[in-house]
Amino acid sequence: MRAEIEEQPAALQRLLDARGDIAAIAEEVRRRDIRFVLLAARGSSDHAALYAKYLIETVLGLPCGLASMSSITAYRTGQSYAGVLWVAVSQSGGSPDLREATRVARDSGALTLAVTNDPRSPLAAETELHLDIRAGVERSVAATKTYTNELLALWLFVDALAGRDGSAVAGVPDAVARAVRDSDVEEVVSRYRFAERLVTVGRGFSYPTAREGALKLMETCHLAASAFSGADLLHGPVAHVDGATPVMVIGPGGAGSQLLRPVVDALVERGADVTLVRGSADDLPGYAVQVPDVPEELTPLVQIVPLQLIALELALSKGLDPDRPSGLSKVTKTL
């Protein structure tokens, strides 16, 4: 896991070097009459898909939803997917339910795109278009470099579809390298070592990061971690936050961080142990693990890094093996 965290800058650069292939896919999609986008995924890839939902809605102005695959695979509902771009996101491309739902969507009129780390995967064979995230072989059960490469692949696709020039992403591999090298997580790990539960919070572009961070802590540390949108947290769940509950708030900067300000104020008022993950330009108050500044829509690529490192180091401090989490395997085949 440590080696693959450290490999992320090189993996991201490898994908950037192949952006011409992604532009060609975007050009093919642009020629179709796409009026709606549906994203289908599981696990970490579902968090990458949620990130893409924010991108598609804010950059492209298209309505976008997360598909309920069991509506197709279990309830056998018939739907028309005319005018829909169906984007299936999967690191392995091996999940049977994702493959079946994608096949049905294609047969029902959708333009289908698979985003995977394996062009020869069963999922890639089901779709008209395939976007290779080029992360290389990932051996750790806890996804790290495949997750960040999914994020970048989806950003490059949306950026090309919008007709932008991609210049905003130029410094991201270096920013991720600095986050890997400079993120000071030692104090957080020492404070959270004996925690039994933990809450992660985000808003807007940082909400997918909060969800992915909680997943990393659950699968590597056996920690009961719950992820919330800041808005949802204040609608009731904040009642179970107290001084014994560590809370990690992911501040994306810009509009997202402004939306999180009343959430941080409420957490501080309740005496919660709050740690912020934010850039230097973000003025959310409190103890912070600082990451390099990048444009708000690209912050998920940088801000997940300290959460990956915290999951890794916290697992080791507990005497756990983050590379072999109990009962988990690299490919989860849901039905």
Question: Does this chain's domain 2-170 share its CATH topology with 173-317?
Answer: yes
What is residue 124's three-state secondary structure? helix
320 band by pLDDT with thresholds 50, 70 and 90: very high
335 band by pLDDT with thresholds 50, 70 and 90: low
State pLDDT tens for residues 264-296. 999 999 899 999 999 988 888 888 999 999 999
Q: Which amino acid is at 59?
A: V
pLDDT of residue 190: 94
Closest CA to 38 of 101, 116, 132: 101
Residue 327 DSSP symbol:
T
230-232-234-236 Cα dihedral, nearest 10 degrees: -150
Give strand ranges (E) for the chain.
36-41, 64-66, 84-89, 111-116, 129-132, 197-202, 224-229, 246-250, 273-279, 288-291
pLDDT of residue 114: 98
Residues whose CB falls within 8 Å of the CB of residue 30, separated by 6 or more in sequence, listed in order: 161
**Token pair of 277 as six digits:** 């993950």
Q: Which amino acid is at 269?
A: E
Residue 22 DSSP symbol:
H
Residue 330 has pLDDT above 60, yes or no: no
pTM: 0.95
pLDDT of residue 281: 81
State pLDDT tens for residues 217-257. 999 998 999 999 999 998 888 888 888 889 999 998 888 88
Dihedral (CA of 48, 54, 60, 66) sign: positive
- Residue range 2-170 forms a domain whose CATH class is alpha beta
Most confident of 137-141, 149-153, 221-225: 149-153
State pLDDT tens for residues 165-180. 999 999 999 999 999 9
Q: Do the beta carbons of residue 199 and residue 218 sit within 8 Å?
A: no
Residue 138 has pLDDT above 70, yes or no: yes
CATH fold of 173-317 reads Rossmann fold (3.40.50)
Instruction: Write down the domain spans for the chain.
Output: 2-170, 173-317
State pLDDT tens for residues 41-70. 999 999 999 999 999 999 999 999 999 888
State pLDDT tens for residues 67-101. 988 888 788 877 889 999 999 999 999 889 999 99
pLDDT of residue 252: 86
Mean pLDDT of the chain: 93
Q: Do the beta carbons of residue 267 and residue 284 sit within 8 Å?
A: no
